[in-house]
Homo-oligomer: A and B are copies of this chain.
Amino acid sequence: MLRVVVQVSDINNVDQALTSCNNLINEIPDAEVEVVFHQSAINAVVRGSTVEDRIRDLMRRGVVIVACRNSMRSRNITEDQLIDGVKIVNAGVAEIVRKQAEGWVYLKL
Protein backbone atom coordinates (compact mmCIF):
# COMPACT_ATOMS: atom_id res chain seq x y z
CA MET A 1 0.00 0.00 0.00
CA LEU A 2 1.19 3.46 -0.88
CA ARG A 3 2.09 5.72 2.05
CA VAL A 4 2.58 9.41 1.30
CA VAL A 5 3.96 12.17 3.52
CA VAL A 6 2.93 15.57 2.19
CA GLN A 7 4.67 18.85 3.10
CA VAL A 8 2.73 22.13 3.05
CA SER A 9 4.89 25.20 3.80
CA ASP A 10 3.35 28.27 2.19
CA ILE A 11 0.09 29.73 3.50
CA ASN A 12 -0.38 31.53 0.18
CA ASN A 13 -0.65 28.21 -1.61
CA VAL A 14 -2.68 26.30 0.96
CA ASP A 15 -5.87 26.23 -1.10
CA GLN A 16 -4.09 24.69 -4.05
CA ALA A 17 -2.28 22.28 -1.74
CA LEU A 18 -5.54 21.06 -0.20
CA THR A 19 -7.06 20.59 -3.65
CA SER A 20 -4.03 18.50 -4.60
CA CYS A 21 -4.47 16.40 -1.43
CA ASN A 22 -8.08 15.75 -2.38
CA ASN A 23 -7.06 14.84 -5.91
CA LEU A 24 -4.50 12.42 -4.50
CA ILE A 25 -6.91 10.51 -2.29
CA ASN A 26 -9.61 10.55 -4.95
CA GLU A 27 -7.19 8.92 -7.37
CA ILE A 28 -5.54 6.54 -4.88
CA PRO A 29 -8.26 5.95 -2.25
CA ASP A 30 -6.31 3.30 -0.35
CA ALA A 31 -3.18 5.43 0.08
CA GLU A 32 -2.16 6.25 3.65
CA VAL A 33 -1.64 10.01 3.68
CA GLU A 34 -0.11 12.31 6.30
CA VAL A 35 0.06 16.05 5.66
CA VAL A 36 2.61 18.09 7.62
CA PHE A 37 1.97 21.82 7.99
CA HIS A 38 4.96 23.99 8.88
CA GLN A 39 6.45 27.45 8.24
CA SER A 40 3.72 29.98 7.36
CA ALA A 41 1.28 27.20 6.39
CA ILE A 42 0.96 26.35 10.09
CA ASN A 43 -1.80 28.97 10.23
CA ALA A 44 -4.02 26.71 8.13
CA VAL A 45 -4.50 24.25 11.00
CA VAL A 46 -5.55 26.88 13.53
CA ARG A 47 -9.24 26.89 14.49
CA GLY A 48 -11.03 29.60 12.54
CA SER A 49 -8.63 29.50 9.57
CA THR A 50 -10.17 30.02 6.13
CA VAL A 51 -9.57 26.35 5.31
CA GLU A 52 -10.73 24.79 8.60
CA ASP A 53 -13.62 22.97 6.90
CA ARG A 54 -11.31 21.51 4.28
CA ILE A 55 -8.84 20.34 6.94
CA ARG A 56 -11.66 18.70 8.89
CA ASP A 57 -12.93 17.05 5.72
CA LEU A 58 -9.50 15.56 4.99
CA MET A 59 -9.33 14.13 8.53
CA ARG A 60 -12.82 12.66 8.08
CA ARG A 61 -11.50 10.96 4.97
CA GLY A 62 -8.68 9.35 6.95
CA VAL A 63 -5.84 11.77 6.29
CA VAL A 64 -3.58 12.46 9.29
CA ILE A 65 -2.94 16.19 9.79
CA VAL A 66 0.26 17.17 11.57
CA ALA A 67 1.40 20.54 12.92
CA CYS A 68 5.05 21.54 13.50
CA ARG A 69 5.65 22.71 17.06
CA ASN A 70 8.62 24.87 16.03
CA SER A 71 6.42 26.74 13.56
CA MET A 72 3.70 27.10 16.22
CA ARG A 73 6.17 28.51 18.74
CA SER A 74 7.61 31.13 16.44
CA ARG A 75 4.07 32.34 15.67
CA ASN A 76 2.77 32.10 19.26
CA ILE A 77 0.21 29.45 18.39
CA THR A 78 -0.74 27.24 21.32
CA GLU A 79 -1.89 23.64 21.27
CA ASP A 80 -5.47 24.52 22.26
CA GLN A 81 -5.81 26.81 19.22
CA LEU A 82 -5.40 23.93 16.78
CA ILE A 83 -8.32 22.30 15.00
CA ASP A 84 -9.44 19.21 16.95
CA GLY A 85 -7.67 16.09 15.83
CA VAL A 86 -4.52 17.76 14.50
CA LYS A 87 -1.41 16.01 15.80
CA ILE A 88 1.79 17.80 16.82
CA VAL A 89 5.42 16.89 16.16
CA ASN A 90 8.48 18.76 17.43
CA ALA A 91 9.88 19.50 13.99
CA GLY A 92 7.88 19.13 10.80
CA VAL A 93 10.98 18.65 8.66
CA ALA A 94 12.25 15.87 10.91
CA GLU A 95 8.86 14.13 10.63
CA ILE A 96 9.07 14.36 6.83
CA VAL A 97 12.54 12.84 6.57
CA ARG A 98 11.83 10.14 9.15
CA LYS A 99 8.70 9.02 7.31
CA GLN A 100 10.70 8.79 4.11
CA ALA A 101 13.33 6.71 5.89
CA GLU A 102 10.48 4.34 6.85
CA GLY A 103 9.50 3.96 3.17
CA TRP A 104 6.91 6.68 2.79
CA VAL A 105 6.81 8.53 -0.53
CA TYR A 106 7.33 12.31 -0.37
CA LEU A 107 5.24 15.06 -1.94
CA LYS A 108 5.93 18.78 -1.52
CA LEU A 109 2.94 20.99 -2.27
**A residues adjacent to B (C-beta < 8 A):** 2, 4, 7, 9-10, 13, 16, 19-21, 23-24, 26-28, 31, 38-40, 68, 70, 74, 90-94, 96-98, 100-101, 105-109
Q: 27 pairs across A/B with beta carbons < 8 Å? A: A2-B97, A2-B98, A2-B101, A4-B97, A9-B16, A9-B109, A10-B13, A13-B39, A19-B70, A19-B74, A20-B38, A20-B39, A23-B68, A23-B70, A23-B93, A23-B94, A24-B91, A24-B93, A24-B94, A24-B97, A27-B90, A27-B94, A31-B97, A93-B109, A96-B107, A100-B105, A106-B106
Taken together, the copies of this chain in the complex come to 3
